[in-house]
Amino acid sequence: MYEVRGRERIQGERLGRYVVEFSCRWPSEADYLYLVSSFTAFFPGRVELAREGERGRAVVRLWEGIYPYRFASTCGVSFPDEENPLRARLRLWPDSDYAEEFSLATVGVQEFLEASREGRLRSEVVLHDERDPAFISYYLGYTVVRLRAPRGVLSRVLVETRGGTVTPMVKFHSSDWADTFQGVVEGKLESYRFILEAHGERVLYGSNGLGDEEFISPGRIAGVDQPRWFIGAVYYLVFPDSFVRSSKVLERRPRARLGGRLRDITQSLDHIASLGVDAIYLTPIYKALSYHRYDVTDHTAVDECLGSWEDWLELVREAGRRGIRLILDVVAHHVSPCSREFSEALLNPGSPYRSWFRFCGQPSAGEVEALRRFVEGGCRELPRELWGKRPFYESFLCNWLMPKLNYSNQEVVERLVRIAAFWLERGAGGFRVDVGHAIPDQALRFFYEKVKEKCADCVIILEIPKGAGFYPLGVIADSAMNYDLRALLLEFFVHRTMDAARFVEGVKELYASMPVHAAHSMYNLLGSHDTPRIATLCGDRGAQCLRVLYTALFVMPGSPSIYYGDEVGMRGGGDPDNRLPMVWDEEKWDKELLSHIRRLSALRRRLKPLRLGFFSAEALGGEAVKLVRWWEDEEVVVLLSRGPTRAELPLEYVDVESGERVREVALEAYSWRILNRKR
């Protein structure tokens, strides 16, 4: 069951998030239990239930919304809330038709809907929390401030400083029950209040809530005061084993090593640099047992199959000479059973490493002995006795080969910090945290703070497959893999399951859910080593669909990423065929796509609004969208269409490619125009 137990009180009558308790009967077969919801990327790990007698409980703090949820262990146990009859069947991933039943928790929505129907303001449903960077953040000389209120009630919102400066805010996003207003104020706000207009009347919203004149003093405002390299950067994702410089062509990818080496990447740096890349994100390069290397045995060693330490240092030097940083994939969530820590924990029950993992269940003597033989033999082939059985320890996706680390143990958190320090000293420019969505926030925050103490300019990117806006980016990481944006792009342009208005509101909701500096640092992607190739997904939509998708990717706020080979139109389905070897035969390249991506990357470097600029968007009918980026005295307008559309512009713009001056544009299916002007 779930119960809304109250609200956080910010000050006076000003209220914050809802305090929500989720609980269930504890299943006899579960040793550990987690809450799985949209705010945990639908994966167990971030929120754990505490066992109290025969029930498990977890208390979370949430903004208003409708939250699908289940209870689950890391292996085998997963169920909706038997005490809550409200349920829905949801398809979670754009690349799969698989759907699952979830219970639904409705938190605060009714209050907003009632206020919206009545058309009047209530203090409890006007929201601004200066402790949350999504509501106020500092970005390169500007303060971005937001306020949320019941939909349709406020006609106008202004933010007023103590010095008397008044700045209008715009209605940036509307959900089914709330409007989000955003204002951009030059300089840092030391104190401010809001002026709200509804039905021709004005009311102040200050430190103590509605009707209060006192100014809000935010204290330290999260943000950035200089343009860090990872704001609006271009990434190139390399899966090292597949990045082999060979003429061999495969139609299917074996789950075995193909022989890619670090030297292959070094030899390919000129090609990568030609794409305008700022950083290469490398999937794991550490000593491991598999070709993908997510079952790490030693995080402080380069896998000998990839090369030597000298090969790594040469890659660092040559990439740096081209202005390219190297971002490493730190496998934070789990290890290999042949890692020193797990093997010692398994073979010696008195080992201090025993508490680094969570052993559970009642394994038979035969299962324990089979795993001992497997580990002592170098983890070469899982014994048949263990096939089809659940591990007697927590693991990633119920996999014997990936024991989950116990992040309630501070030693495990400090281990992660030591790994980061080791690689920073050897030239790494930051980290992508594998399965970051399933690691508790307090552990991620500690890791983030320690990395930033050592290297403020190094980036931390979380893997979050869904719901990145529910994670406190800017506090526990700089960025996250933006699978949410990818889903919206696929649904609008490829699957055509939503119209332009829904697409625009989806993008705006995502942007408004996080601080501006985090939104502009998001790792935006069309594909990765975990998804089908984007050229394959476009299918019958053709080459123009692929080009318009890349145009959208490069003009959205955030940092566009290119998955190796996508720039030349490589194809491939799901894992492992999305990891086919890089195609080096230029006769097989889509050279028009390659040229298009190079032009887009050059435009981002030339036009500051595309890399740094603020963002807005609107629908042009049902088939096209207008994106606006602006920075200082320059504005860029991008028109993206999946169907024939005409657009009239309020001012004259210059087409950035043809130099033509335009005020009216005719768009064909799957076409685009990029325009700019001085403001």
Fold of the CATH domain 612-678: Immunoglobulin-like (2.60.40)
What would the DSSP string read from start to end of 40-62? GTTSTTSEEPEEETTEEEEEEEE
Sign of the CA dihedral with 329 first, then 331, 336, and 340 last: positive
With contact defined as beta carbons under 8 Å apart, do 422 and 454 qualify?
no
With contact defined as beta carbons under 8 Å apart, do 335 and 293 qualify?
no
Parts of the chain belonging to CATH 2.60.40.1180: 612-678
Residues 74 and 334: their CA atoms lie apart, in Å, by: 12
Rounded to 5°, the CA angle 237-239-243 comes to 105
Tens digits of per-residue pLDDT, 606-648?
Answer: 999 999 999 999 999 999 999 999 999 999 999 999 999 999 9
Whether the per-residue pLDDT at 656 is higher than 90: the answer is: yes
Q: What percent of the chain has pLDDT over 90?
A: 96
Mean pLDDT value across the chain = 96
With contact defined as beta carbons under 8 Å apart, do 579 and 529 qualify?
yes
Whether the per-residue pLDDT at 199 is higher than 90: the answer is: no
Tens digits of per-residue pLDDT, 277-287?
Answer: 999 999 999 99
Q: What integer is the mean pLDDT of 244-271?
A: 94
pLDDT of residue 246: 85
With contact defined as beta carbons under 8 Å apart, do 203 and 153 qualify?
no
pTM across the whole model: 0.97
Question: Cβ of 631: how many Cβ atoms within 10 Å?
Answer: 18
Tens digits of per-residue pLDDT, 436-485?
Answer: 999 999 999 999 999 999 999 999 999 999 999 999 999 999 999 999 99
Residue range 2-107 in CATH 2.60.40.10: yes
pLDDT band at 273 (very low <50, low <70, confident <90, very high): very high
Tens digits of per-residue pLDDT, 489-543?
Answer: 999 999 999 999 999 999 999 999 999 999 999 999 999 999 999 999 999 898 9
Whether the per-residue pLDDT at 229 is higher than 80: the answer is: yes
Parts of the chain belonging to CATH 2.60.40.10: 2-107, 118-224
The CATH class of the 118-224 domain is mainly beta
Which CATH number does the domain 340-398 belong to among 3.40.50.300, 3.40.470.10, 3.40.50.1970, 3.90.400.10? Answer: 3.90.400.10
Residues 384 and 370: their CA atoms lie apart, in Å, by: 9
Parts of the chain belonging to CATH 3.20.20.80: 235-334+410-610
**Tokens representing residue 516 in the block:** 């501006």
The per-residue b/e assignment along 527-562, b for 16 or more CB within 10 angstroms, e otherwise, is bbbbbbbbbbbbeebeeebbbbbbbbbbbbbbbbbb
Instruction: Assign domain 235-334+410-610 to its CATH architecture.
Output: Alpha-Beta Barrel (3.20)
pLDDT of residue 361: 85
Parts of the chain belonging to CATH 3.90.400.10: 340-398
